[in-house]
Homo-oligomer: A and B are copies of this chain.
Amino acid sequence: MPRFFVSVPPTDTAVITGEDAVHIGRSLRMRPGERLTVCCDGTDHECEIEAITSDEVRCRVLSSAPTEGEPRLRLTLFQALPKSDKMELIVQKTVELGVSEIVPVVTERCVSRPDDKSAAKKTERWQKIALSAAKQCGRGIIPTVSLPVSFEKCLGLCKESERRLFCYEGGGESLTAQRLDEAGSAALLIGPEGGFSDEEAAAAKAAGLVPVTLGKRILRCETAPIAATAAVMLLAGEM
Contacts and interface: CB of A to CB of B under 8 A. Distances in A.
Interface stretch (A12-20, A131-139, A202-210): A131-139
Contact size class for A? 20 to 34
A118 B216 CA distance: 35
Interface in A46-96: 68-69, 92-93, 96
A208 to B, nearest CB: 23
Contact of A239 (B68, B175, B220): B175
Interface in A205-239: 213-220, 223, 226-228, 230-231, 233-235, 238-239
A197 interface: no
Contacts of A139: 217
Interface in A107-157: 136-139
A98 B215 contact: yes
B175 A217 contact: no
B238 A137 contact: no
B215 A227 contact: no
Given A230-B227, A239-B227, A69 B176 contact: no
Contact of A69 (B138, B175, B217, B223): B217
Interface of A: 68-69, 92-93, 96-98, 136-139, 174-176, 213-220, 223, 226-228, 230-231, 233-235, 238-239
